A and B are shown apart, each in its own frame.
Chain A
Amino acid sequence: DQQVKQNSPSLSVQEGRISILNCDYTNSMFDYFLWYKKYPAEGPTFLISISSIKDKNEDGRFTVFLNKSAKHLSLHIVPSQPGDSAVYFCAASAGRTGNQFYFGTGTSLTVIP
């Protein structure tokens, strides 16, 4: 059973606009959430993370928002650039109970110049 879900397989955005990628989770034990970016034929690379004690974390153009009551997080990219075109994976872990990271199915982002 998929504990981390990304319901949008793909997203297209104009360069300079905001990209919003969404992620939902079901396991209330998850306390740490991450976003990874993946280019074809490469492994995922870490982008940004958020602990469950926060509701927002920013790093440059990337901001992650966490809504614990809704079990929902989102990644905002502002402004979007063509180099941001990649597959974005949401991941979650329950640090108190284990070392595992569980991933969503990914959202393929295309930024149109």
Chain B
Amino acid sequence: DAMVIQNPRYQVTQFGKPVTLSCSQTLNHNVMYWYQQKSSQAPKLLFHYYDKDFNNEADTPDNFQSRRPNTSFCFLDIRSPGLGDAAMYLCATSARFTGVTEAFFGQGTRLTVV
């Protein structure tokens, strides 16, 4: 089945140790998003790619970076994770302006910082 796949489902990292979360999609969608969701809060958009164009939200900390080497893959890099970065990280895709108007989500990666 075509889908959005996030790896790993659960990630434990040490305080200050760089960590990378990955997302792949078989939908061939041109837009990919990274959201951060903390308990009982709204998913917060960190950034998105429209094709190769990177779009950062104004309030996304510099500690968060992203790479999209090709259409199928997108990575979230946290350079120096702090305790406040523990959250669920959600990857999503959409195909805006081609008739697909909703975002499709992966199952998320639960990040724990110790």
Q: Do A and B come from one complex?
A: yes
19 contacts between A and B (CB under 8 A): A36-B105, A41-B107, A41-B108, A41-B110, A42-B107, A43-B6, A43-B107, A44-B90, A46-B104, A89-B43, A91-B103, A98-B55, A99-B96, A100-B45, A101-B92, A103-B43, A105-B42, A106-B40, A106-B42
Our pick among B55, B105, B107 for the contact of A99 (Cβ within 8 Å) is B55
Q: Which residue of the partner chain B has the closest CB to A43? A: B105
Which residues, 1 to 60 on B, are CB-close (under 8 Å) to A? 4, 6, 31, 33, 35, 40-45, 48, 50, 55, 57
Q: Are B48 and A43 in contact (CB under 8 A)?
A: no
Q: Could you say which residues of chain A place their CB within 8 Å of the CB of B6?
A: 43
B62 at the A interface (CB under 8 A): no
Q: Interface residues of B: mostly helix, strand, loop or mixed?
A: strand
| Complex Cα–Cα for A47 and B106 (A) | 15
| Tally of chain A residues near chain B (CB < 8 A) | 25
B interface list, Cβ under 8 A from A: 4, 6, 31, 33, 35, 40-45, 48, 50, 55, 57, 90, 92, 94, 96-97, 101-108, 110
| Complex Cα–Cα for A43 and B106 (A) | 5
Query: Can you add 7 more A-B contacts, CB < 8 Å, to A43-B106, A102-B45?
Result: A36-B105, A41-B108, A43-B6, A43-B90, A46-B102, A100-B45, A101-B103
Q: Are A34 and B102 in contact (CB under 8 A)?
A: yes
Q: Are A9 and B40 in contact (CB under 8 A)?
A: yes
The 0/1 profile, CB within 8 Å of B marked 1, for residues 41-57 of chain A is 11111100100000000
Shortest C-beta distance, B91 to chain A (Å), equals 8
Shortest C-beta distance, A35 to chain B (Å), equals 10
Q: Which residue of the partner chain B has the closest CB to A101? A: B103
